[in-house]
Amino acid sequence: MSSKTISLKEETYERLRREKGEDESFSDVIDRFLDDEEHPLHGLVGLADDDEVARIRAASRSFRDDVDERTDAESHVEQ
């Protein structure tokens, strides 16, 4: 099997070394992390009911609209 040489920051190397098991290579450690298919936000699915999701979406939409209005107002003042 062919291999590649890569450069790592010292702190990154130390983090990988701490994660490495006795019988693992650094490639094994990296593969283990890359093969983890569960999205980090997956655990949040189902925490909010439909009403709460609707409230969050409305608040988010209102926030974005407010930012857009402020940005538009500032751009007209600068011109």
Write down the pLDDT at residue 79.
58
pTM for the structure as a whole: 0.44
Q: How many CB atoms lie within 10 A of CB 15?
A: 13
Q: What is the pLDDT of residues 26-71, one digit of tens each?
A: 999 988 888 767 767 777 778 888 899 899 999 999 999 999 998 8
pLDDT: which is higher, 74 or 54: 54
